[in-house]
Amino acid sequence: MAEMQNGERSILVVGGGMSGLSAALEAAEAGFQVFIVDKEAYLGGRVARMNKYFPKLCPPNCGLEINFRRIKNNPLIRFFTMTEVEKITGEAGNFDVTLKVAPRYVNAKCTGCGLCAEAATTEIANPFNYGLDTVKAAYLPHDFAFPMRYVIAPEVIGSEEASRIKAACPYGAVDLEMQPATFDLKVGAIVWATGWEPYEAAKIAYYGFGKNKNVITNVMMERLAAQNGPTAGKIVRPSDGAPVNKIAFVQCAGSRDENHLPYCSGICCLASLKQATYLLEENPAANATIFYIDIRALGKYEDFYTKVQADERVALIKGKAGEITENPETGMVTVQVEDQATGRILKDEFDLVVLATGMVPGSASCKVPADVAYDEHGFILGSQPVAGIIGAGCVRRPVDVATSVQDATAAALKAIQATFRR
Ligand SMILES: Cc1cc2nc3c(=O)[nH]c(=O)nc-3n(C[C@H](O)[C@H](O)[C@H](O)COP(=O)(O)OP(=O)(O)OC[C@H]3O[C@@H](n4cnc5c(N)ncnc54)[C@H](O)[C@@H]3O)c2cc1C
């Protein structure tokens, strides 16, 4: 693709999660040309993968759908999925950016009919569901994906199966010859909103994540509870599909720990309180135990905390969980913890244990290809050596959606100002 246009008055937004979408819409609705790029095959970020999100506990679609409609109706916004930034040169008001697009093997003629998936036989781990189930090698990223367009997994490219997938499409939408491509943009400012990644739970060896089947992470719990998740919303044990009657949440799994993530992500306590309600609503006879160091529920979230705390089916025990083991015969998971109120060592068995892992900035593993300043954990700093590259949302610090949206609005204003700099 050729260089697309003069950079004046145009803004690149990297990351199409809640922060990136908000920054893009604010800037475009103020009259600026905006380009959104996201490395995934769909927009919406981590929120798209939740079951419900606080404060209103609505499904992700209710917030995302409005943003997608605004994007569709705004001719000033263009977006590119499966795209990452390769190179940035220049300065505020005049950046040259090179973008790299991974092949999707499906073009814009796709109607989302699913005939390609019917023709596919290979199953791959479902990335949207954090590998809790599999999908066909021709797949829609998820039921409400935006754009609503299939992806062919690179694993089958070059095989007879790929030819069958192509032949099954009546619209000529499968393009097996697609190659990685690069294109250039000129923009006046860049909003970097690449969000967060879950801390790698397997690094906390004594919790046995990956070895113990009924030990999952909080992001997996969102998928397990979601109607469009691997079990159609039924919260069951991954080992055998048995119902969950007794669940434990282990707070600060790796967080506030010098050996892992020294900081508090601020959201995980609320996420576990929320996830306890997922189970209790589905199975009123169930009970939930939350092992915590301190419960962090700031501002208006205090009410949510006290409401969940008041439920007699919820036990909050102050104490950092030690070793977690699973009985291979029964699948029951034992959590050992020192109850700080009594000083006693507790050992209890659960059907399912959820590790409340913290949030790692997306900018830690994938740095901005420019002179950008980070804190010691990889979060992008507010003040930058190069004006016109502005961090927004969880790439700056772990926050909730409402705060991400506010931060993105501020980033949009800073980006608009930067476009006038030359
Ligand atoms: C378990 C859990 C539950 C939560 N529940 C809630 C809740 O109920 N309510 C609430 O308000 N908050 C909740 N949060 C916090 C919420 O997830 C964040 O506030 C929100 O995701 C922030 O949006 P973001 O756009 O900054 O980041 P993200 O959602 O992470 O979006 C970042 C986007 O950038 C893209 N990207 C990443 N790297 C690149 C790259 N190199 N190039 C191009 N694109 C890239 C990603 O694909 C993604 O689309 C929860 C957090 C956790 C851990």
- Does the Cβ of 26 fall within 6 Å of ligand 1? no
- Does the Cβ of 407 fall within 6 Å of ligand 1? no
CA–centroid distance, 163 to ligand 1, in Å, is 36
> What pLDDT is stored for residue 386 in this prediction?
87
Specify which residues 85 forms β-bridges with.
99
Give the model confidence (pLDDT) of 178-194 as tens digits: 999 999 999 999 999 99
Atom of ligand 1 nearest to the CA of 366: 41
Mutate to test the pocket of ligand 1, among 57, 100, 267 (most ligand atoms within 8 A of CB): 267
CA–centroid distance, 193 to ligand 1, in Å, is 9
Give the model confidence (pLDDT) of 199-256 as tens digits: 999 999 999 999 999 999 999 999 999 999 999 999 999 999 999 999 999 999 999 9
Give the model confidence (pLDDT) of 92-111 as tens digits: 999 999 999 999 999 999 99
- Does the Cβ of 358 fall within 6 Å of ligand 1? no
> What pLDDT is stored for residue 8 in this prediction?
67
CA–centroid distance, 45 to ligand 1, in Å, is 5
- Does the Cβ of 45 fall within 6 Å of ligand 1? yes
Mutate to test the pocket of ligand 1, among 49, 54, 196 (most ligand atoms within 8 A of CB): 196
- Does the Cβ of 132 fall within 6 Å of ligand 1? no
Atom of ligand 1 nearest to the CA of 22: 25
Residue reference for tokens 């694993």: 155
Label the pairing between strands 321-326 and 333-338. antiparallel
Three-state SS string over the chain comes to CCCCCCCCCEEEEECCCHHHHHHHHHHHHCCCEEEEECCCCCCCHHHHHCCCECCCCECHHHHHHHHHHHHHCCCCEEEECCEEEEEEEEECCEEEEEEEECCCCECCCCCCCCHHHHHCCCEEECCCCCCCCEEECEECCCCCCCCCCCEECHHHCCCHHHHHHHHHCCCCCECCCCCCEEEEEEECEEEECCCEEECCHHHCHHHCECCECCEEEHHHHHHHHCCCCCCCCCCECCCCCCECCEEEEEEEECECCCCCECCCCCCHHHHHHHHHHHHHHHCCCCEEEEEECCCCCCHHHHHHHHHHHCCCCEEEEECCEEEEEECCCCCCEEEEEECCCCCCEEEEEECEEEEEECEEEHHHHCCCCCCCCECCCCCECCCCCCCCEEECHHHCCCCCHHHHHHHHHHHHHHHHHHHCCC
CA–centroid distance, 49 to ligand 1, in Å, is 9
Atom of ligand 1 nearest to the CA of 48: 29
> What pLDDT is stored for residue 4 in this prediction?
42
In the chain, the N- to C-terminal Cα span, in Å, equals: 26
pLDDT tens track, the chain, 422 positions: 434 455 568 999 999 999 999 999 999 999 999 999 999 999 999 999 999 999 999 999 989 999 999 999 999 999 999 999 999 999 999 999 999 999 999 999 999 999 999 999 999 999 999 999 999 999 999 999 999 999 999 999 999 999 999 999 999 999 999 999 999 999 999 999 999 999 999 999 999 999 999 999 999 999 999 999 999 999 999 999 999 999 999 999 999 999 999 999 999 999 999 999 999 999 999 999 999 999 999 888 999 999 999 999 999 999 999 999 999 999 999 999 999 999 999 999 999 999 999 999 998 889 999 999 999 999 999 999 989 999 999 999 999 999 999 999 999 999 999 999 76
Question: Which tokens sit at 206?
Answer: 């004594």
> What pLDDT is stored for residue 7 in this prediction?
58
Label the pairing between strands 333-338 and 345-350. antiparallel
Burial of 346 (0-12, 13-18, 19+ CB in 10 A): middle
CA–centroid distance, 273 to ligand 1, in Å, is 19
The pTM (predicted TM-score) of the whole model is 0.96
CA–centroid distance, 198 to ligand 1, in Å, is 10
- Does the Cβ of 254 fall within 6 Å of ligand 1? no
Nearest CA to ligand 1 atom 8: 53
- Does the Cβ of 414 fall within 6 Å of ligand 1? no
Atom of ligand 1 nearest to the CA of 85: 42
- Computed on alpha carbons and rounded to an integer, the radius of gyration of the chain in Å comes to 23
> What pLDDT is stored for residue 422 in this prediction?
64
Task: Give the span between the Cα atoms of 343 and 176, in whole angstroms.
Answer: 63
CA–centroid distance, 102 to ligand 1, in Å, is 21
> What pLDDT is stored for residue 398 in this prediction?
97
Atom of ligand 1 nearest to the CA of 265: 53
Mutate to test the pocket of ligand 1, among 19, 21, 47, 56 (most ligand atoms within 8 A of CB): 47
> What pLDDT is stored for residue 3 in this prediction?
41
Q: What are phi and psi of 333, to 5 degrees?
A: -110, 125
> What pLDDT is stored for residue 351 in this prediction?
98
CA–centroid distance, 392 to ligand 1, in Å, is 11
